[in-house]
């Protein structure tokens, strides 16, 4: 609420640290997106000048913003790459590949094999994957039987890859309660 309270000279926050307004962040993000990564001193000065219209800002804030943003962006990208492997890329992987396991057989994670501990039982305490770190596991996937080749017409071939139900377990069971049903993760 305070981030845009003062239109120009941000009086809201105690001047502990720069608190960018939404507009400032937008402009900075756009500059970043446009390819600007390490602005020159001159550019920093200009950016700061113009952003001062939206709130209190100093040149060093701009400098730090770009530095932090560059680093975090790189970090995020790296994490994203390492943690998510191809499930599906268009219909190449998921739909056309006979065995995804061949492609996705990643090595066994050392000790982090199981997934999302928080979810394992009751997920009532909502685990949120935050921007700082979404816990993600490169679990070795066992076979994924996604082999479909569907063309533009329906009549889809249902290779029911995972066709076993709880009836295997013997008795006729009711639907398990919702919260228990999540335990498979």
Partner DNA sequence: GCAAATTAATGATTTATTCAAG
Partner DNA sequence: CTTGAATAAATCATTAATTTGC
Contact 85, 104 (CB under 8 A): yes
- State the number of binding residues for DNA (CB under 7 A): 59
Residues in 25-64 at the binding interface with DNA, rule: CB under 7 A: 25, 33, 38, 60-61, 64
CA distance 40 to 123: 48
- State the number of binding residues for a copy of itself (CB under 8 A): 108
- Does 3 bind DNA (CB under 7 A)? Our answer is yes
Q: What are phi and psi of 135, to 5 degrees?
A: -75, 125
Token look-up 């309270």 returns 5
Cα 175 to Cα 80, 164, 172: the distances in Å are: 36, 15, 9
62: tokens are 């701009």
Q: Which of 90, 107, 158, 171 binds a copy of itself (CB under 8 A)?
A: 158
Cα 98 to Cα 7, 91, 94, 153: the distances in Å are: 59, 12, 9, 20
Q: What does 65 interact with, of a copy of itself, DNA, none (CB < 5 to 8 A by kind)?
A: DNA
Q: What does 31 interact with, of a copy of itself, DNA, none (CB < 5 to 8 A by kind)?
A: a copy of itself
- Does 112 bind DNA (CB under 7 A)? Our answer is no
Number of residues that make up the chain? 185
Site pattern 140..179 for DNA (x: CB under 7 A): xxxxx-x-xxxxxxxxx-----------------------
Q: Residue 65 burial by CB count (10 A; 0-12/13-18/19+): exposed, middle or buried? A: buried
Nearest approach in angstroms of CB 148 to DNA is 7
Nearest approach in angstroms of CB 172 to DNA is 25
Residues that bind DNA (CB under 7 A): 1-3, 13-14, 16-20, 25, 33, 38, 60-61, 64-65, 67-75, 77-78, 81, 84-91, 93, 95-97, 120, 138-144, 146, 148-156
């Amino acid at each position: 609420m305070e981030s845009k309270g003062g239109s120009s000279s941000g009086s809201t926050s105690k001047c502990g640290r720069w608190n960018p307004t939404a507009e400032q962040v937008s402009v900075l993000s756009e500059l970043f997106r446009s390819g600007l990564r390490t602005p020159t001193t001159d550019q920093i000065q200009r950016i700061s000048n113009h952003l001062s219209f939206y709130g209190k800002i100093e040149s060093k804030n701009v400098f730090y913003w770009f530095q932090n943003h560059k680093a975090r962006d790189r970090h995020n990208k790296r994490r994203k790459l390492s943690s998510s492997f191809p499930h599906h890329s268009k219909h190449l992987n998921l739909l056309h590949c006979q065995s995804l396991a061949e492609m996705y057989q990643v090595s066994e994670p050392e000790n982090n094999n199981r997934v999302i501990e928080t979810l394992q039982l009751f997920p009532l305490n909502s685990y949120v994957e935050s921007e700082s770190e979404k816990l993600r596991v490169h679990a070795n996937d066992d076979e994924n039987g996604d082999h479909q080749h569907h063309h533009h017409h329906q009549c889809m071939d249902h290779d029911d890859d995972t066709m076993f139900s709880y009836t295997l377990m013997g008795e006729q069971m009711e639907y398990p309660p919702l919260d228990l049903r999540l335990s498979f993760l």
